[in-house]
Amino acid sequence: MAATMAELVRAQWGDHRPGVTSHEGTLTHHEVAAGAAARAALFGELLPRGAEPHIGVLLDNVPEYPLWLAAAALAGAAVAGINPTRRGPELARDIAHTDCALLITERAHLPLLAGLELTVPPERVLVVDDPAYRELLGPYAQTRPDALTGAAPTPASRMLLYFTSGSTGAPKAAVCTQGRLAAAGHSLVRYFGVRREDVHYLCMPMFHGNAVIAGWAPALAGGAAVALRRRFSASGFLPDVRRFKATYFTYVGRAVQYLLATPPAPDDRDNPLRTGFGTEAGAVDAERFAERFGVPLIEGYGSSEGGASLQRTPDTPPGAIGRPAPGDDLAVVDPETGAELPRARLDGDGRLRNGDEAIGELVNRGRSSFEGYWRNPEATAARTRGRLGGRVGAGWYWTGDLFFRDAEGFFHFAGRTDDRLRVDSENLAAAMIENILARYAPATGVAVYAVPDPVAGDQVMAALALRDGAAFDPEDFVAFLAAQPDLGTKMAPRFVRTLTALPVTATNKVHRVALRRAGFRCPEPVWWTPSAAGPPEAAKLPEPSARAGSSYRRFTDEDRAALLAQYRDHGRAHLLDG
């Protein structure tokens, strides 16, 4: 089993099967290895003495992306995935923060760089679809992977610097070494039974860890091919899958919901896919996807930084993520005290009966593969130093994710630590409410988040992306809520925002910070239950079965003004801008 990504790239030499295919053409495995060697040799010539061996890659999913990943592996360099949805000083900051000695881009992205004060000089900004780029590569075209000069990469060599997809503050660049990436590739090969004839369809952006760690690495480790889509397209998904004979794909965020929102066709199941692997599809949509396309989705959990992971087993119940890998010491703990929390109690309808005491933060109390953040010791320490000045859980890996664990030991995702809502002194997890609202047929996407209560705690707000041409029917929505046996009395949304599509980050994850910041002060229609106004004890909605008629009406300008006055009266108006 290869210990480095460099070994896996060198193993491609002499293999003339398709290795990288796209709408631009096909490269064999051998051509990928040869192209990677040429680029690694060029990088060695261009790298200034004393500079960090870091390559910024500002590309869509085009063949040059895996070629430069493979080149970095051979050269013992690290690829910093630069997000093309970033703009201006923030984009320049990402390039500078990761100490890029070389920047690889394409003509389509040059306008993003115009006028920026870049730390990479113009002669080391390579434009892959410019004739000058081919001229630069020309002298190195005959380089063999085993003939490169310099120290051989080791498992500890940095391979990736990939930015976390957080929406607040400056993104952090997580470090991933060749050893960790190679191990992840081999692990997924075993887990999914990757075969040499498989084709991994990469439609998620390669500047994000999902496509590289869960798509490219196992393909390389298993001798499979990768098929590239420049950018994700819901309408282009099935045509691509059929064209490339793809057997596997990865997803994150709302990609699955976008696919389900495409018009159904009688031949949807006519495709070569065996499985999809990703996060945040949700149990309801995963079931819908399998029923419509005949393709099972496997929801996994692994922190981007490598600190904790859960594996799905054949006996994992619906709604659960799985169990820790053998030897891992994962637990759900109180984030303040570090004490392990009681197991969850679920009733016959799958409703969590003791969420207030069972939901906590997932931690890894054992050895983790977290390798830190580049040039950010404070953020690195925050993941491992524990809480309350380091006295609680020092040395653990704190994921920042909410979970609960059932009586059989399966872990269930309950949201992010900043997705916890406190309604009438009861703690709720946004993800649990989302799982319920996802059953609402007119909605193609759902996001649940907290807005501050005018007096104390939070109120529940939901954003519903409605199908094309659908209008929000408050009576129908109330009837739907009344029919949900696992909807707790505090879970029904006080506010419902209706829109055509949920706002997302560059990695297709719901932009919850933007939703929370806008709250009910948004341009789209908002519906609300005004009867919930007043002090906390008056904010309780009745049991779903007791609701009659429509308790939702349009939220008007007059309603907004009156509600804002309540926030001001109670000194909580500032919370709306948090």
Residues in the chain: 578
CA atoms 83, 87, 93, 99: torsion sign: positive
Listed in sequence order, the DSSP H helices in 483-577 are 512-518, 557-569
pLDDT in tens, 98-151: 999 999 999 999 999 999 999 999 999 999 999 999 999 999 999 999 999 888
Q: Which CATH class is domain 301-418?
A: mainly beta
pLDDT at 509: 82
Q: Which residue from 238, 167, 172, 97 is spatially nearest to 507, judged by alpha carbons?
A: 167
pLDDT in tens, 505-554: 877 788 887 898 899 999 999 999 985 433 222 233 333 333 323 489 99
* Interatomic CA distance for residues 72 and 87, integer angstroms: 26
Can you name the CATH fold of 5-177? Rossmann fold (3.40.50)
Radius of gyration of the chain (CA): 25
pLDDT at 545: 30
CA distances in angstroms from 82 to 232, 503, 506, listed in the order given: 17, 21, 11
* Interatomic CA distance for residues 229 and 242, integer angstroms: 13
In this chain, the answer to whether the domains covering 5-177 and 301-418 adopt an identical fold is: no
pLDDT in tens, 358-394: 989 999 999 899 999 999 999 899 899 887 778 889 9
Q: Where are the domains of the chain?
A: 5-177, 301-418, 428-577
pLDDT at 532: 44
pLDDT at 166: 44
Q: CATH homologous superfamily for 428-577?
A: ANL, C-terminal domain (3.30.300.30)
pLDDT at 156: 98
Q: Please report, in tens digits, the pLDDT of each residue of the chain (578 residues total).
A: 999 999 999 999 999 999 999 999 999 999 999 999 999 999 999 999 999 999 999 999 999 999 999 999 999 999 999 998 888 888 999 999 999 999 999 999 999 999 999 999 999 999 999 999 999 999 999 999 999 988 899 999 999 999 875 433 567 999 999 999 999 999 999 999 999 999 999 999 999 899 999 999 999 999 999 999 999 999 999 999 999 999 999 998 678 888 998 999 999 999 999 999 998 787 788 899 999 999 999 988 888 798 999 988 889 988 789 999 888 899 999 988 899 999 999 888 777 888 889 989 999 999 899 999 999 999 899 899 887 778 889 999 999 888 999 999 999 988 777 777 878 756 677 888 998 999 999 999 999 999 988 876 789 999 999 988 789 999 999 999 989 877 877 889 999 999 999 998 877 788 887 898 899 999 999 999 985 433 222 233 333 333 323 489 999 999 999 999 988 887 777 678 65
Helix, strand, coil percentages for the chain (3-state, nearest 5): 35, 25, 45
Find the farthest-apart pair of alpha carbons in the chain and give their distance in angstroms, rounded. 77
